[in-house]
Structure 1
């Protein structure tokens, strides 16, 4: 009798105790989840506020002032120490320069745009695509569903980057609204409307030019330029740290998009401006003026068709930055196309970038 009486209530008591502990753990887990979600929301809000404040900074005015400063002629006795300091800070290789005497450069701008000796950058002849510039490979690969990656995991839109597909029409030079034709078009349908050739894919590659790099850029292949589109945009920094921070960075920034054809179909090469890039100069397009005064309405661009397409051969000089920035290549190629670089690689102008298998 005592055993039965004693043992009777023991099982319910233990079950109740276990239930209380389980409920306590679940309650604690819910509280931790709520705290984590609150923290994530706060961090996201802070990030948005930081980006908003950063974009409100007068970066275009600062860049224009920097550009003017770079063009100020230096006294001969100051050229070697001041430009030499820049060489030391950013690791420039003077042995590659066509002119190695620093006293021959009247200002910093001339040194930024220095030419190289012809023998230091042989252009690879065996690969269909070569690097257009010195720099660092930020990202490369296939364009999927109209979305590109500026760095791993951070994306931007193909339709926002290139704008409406009017480059094959004879429109006059004009200021146009980019948003009107794209409002009701998805990223996926935008890519489909490029009408790639059967068996081809769309690829892209981003090369970042640091301040110490050679600042001229060249044609990466033989192609014909049919159209230029200039987005006035902003001048946010494009260094890898900022590219990881700001989603859609390249769609915000000033850029000159050149579109045309190469042996495999659609080809585009874009020079993207950045903070302290005083100007983008394109040798075959003297009308292009970048970093101009006055704020342009958002999502606007200037179009210029080339009635007589400009033919560029692999390795031809194409343009120059006044300081460092970024080159973006977007092109169609056969499905067997393979890149010969890796993310984060330092690459030199003329070196292999990719070829078909």
Structure 2
């Protein structure tokens, strides 16, 4: 199916301004269908949202999501925890028993190269000679540290902005045009390597324990990914994209984002993938299948 074209059409529909008298019944139907909690919204009068897109990207009241300050890692978004755990041999799990490749998800390990241009570059990753295990070793984790990952799925009724889960420094962005397959949990159980097929914006850098990566993964009807610190990012663009191509941007002046800072937004729901190194003893504070809210504890290194 032409999922990218469908997603662009859906995006245009979301931006069509509704007559004031239709806003409450139409947006109210969406609220009812997907169980949106209007009491949490900064603006609770549905007539103030000009279109569905504005409602999808609604802001929260400042007092409803206090950011936990006792844990090193907090949830970047509202959503459902699909999976979390330690990365071993370069293989990650998207749900229990269904895997994807770290090497395929992040692409060649070139983001810390001083030779990278600060301007966007186009690169093919047809040839990736490292095995999955060798690729993980190439990340050069600190001695004794372990690599972890966490996947959070944002449903259509969730708050669609996402935030920094910790204080870290963004050094590099890699945009994979990819596909726009659905990422709901049922599909994630069916298609192995789903996240490696889909369009995604992968941001890599450093936090207090070493390597840190936060990725926004697109999906059907979620062709729009907006990152506040990266105005050049354009997703779900017109025209056929070559296979196995990604677009790199190296930030010559790394961007420091603090825990809880707004990082970006989806147009509807999608998925956030965190991949990071942590010292021995790091523990997740959530379980697979948990519903979680932005700012709540996600993991602790003590």
How does the TM-score come out when normalised to structure 2?
A: 0.98
| Residue 114 of structure 2 corresponds to residue 167 of structure 1 | no
Q: Aligned-pair distance for 1:266?
A: 0.1
Q: Aligned-pair distance for 1:78?
A: 0.3
| Residue 287 of structure 2 corresponds to residue 356 of structure 1 | no
- Which secondary structure state, in structure 2, belongs to the residue aligned with residue 118 of structure 1? coil
Q: How many Å separate the matches in 2 of 1:161 and 1:120? A: 34
Structure 1 gap ranges (5+): 1-56
| Residue 190 of structure 2 corresponds to residue 249 of structure 1 | no
Q: 1:342 aligns with which of 284, 287, 290?
A: 287
Q: How many Å separate the matches in 2 of 1:165 and 1:295? A: 26
Number of equivalent positions: 299
Q: 2:256 aligns with which of 311, 327, 332?
A: 311
Larger Rg: 1
The equivalent of 2:215 in structure 1 is 270
**Per-residue deviation, residues 290-344 of structure 1 (Å, max 9, x unmatched):** 0001121211100000000000000000000000000000000001100000000
Q: 1:223 aligns with which of 124, 144, 168?
A: 168
Q: Which gives a bigger RCO, structure 1 or 2 (Cα 8 Å, sep 6+)?
A: 2
**Per-residue deviation, residues 224-259 of structure 1 (Å, max 9, x unmatched):** 000000000000000000000000000000000000
Q: Aligned-pair distance for 1:179?
A: 2.1
Q: Which of the two has greater helix per residue?
A: 1
- Alignment map for 1:48-197 (pairs within 5 Å): 57-169=1-113, 170-172=115-117, 173-180=120-127, 182=128, 184-197=129-142
| Residue 150 of structure 2 corresponds to residue 205 of structure 1 | yes
- Which secondary structure state, in structure 2, belongs to the residue aligned with residue 110 of structure 1? helix
Q: How many Å separate the matches in 1 of 2:60 and 2:253? A: 30
**Per-residue deviation, residues 124-152 of structure 1 (Å, max 9, x unmatched):** 00000000000000000000100000000
Q: How many Å separate the matches in 2 of 1:300 and 1:62? A: 22
- Alignment map for 1:323-342 (pairs within 5 Å): 323-342=268-287
- Kindly indicate whether the alpha-carbon contact (under 8 Å) linking 2:180 and 2:223 is maintained by their aligned counterparts in 1: no
- Which secondary structure state, in structure 1, belongs to the residue aligned with residue 63 of structure 2? helix
How does the TM-score come out when normalised to structure 1?
A: 0.83
Q: How many Å separate the matches in 1 of 2:297 and 2:54? A: 28
- Which secondary structure state, in structure 1, belongs to the residue aligned with residue 44 of structure 2? coil
Q: How many Å separate the matches in 2 of 1:342 and 1:278? A: 29
Q: How many Å separate the matches in 2 of 1:178 and 1:121? A: 40
Q: Aligned-pair distance for 1:278?
A: 3.2
- Kindly indicate whether the alpha-carbon contact (under 8 Å) linking 1:278 and 1:323 is maintained by their aligned counterparts in 2: no
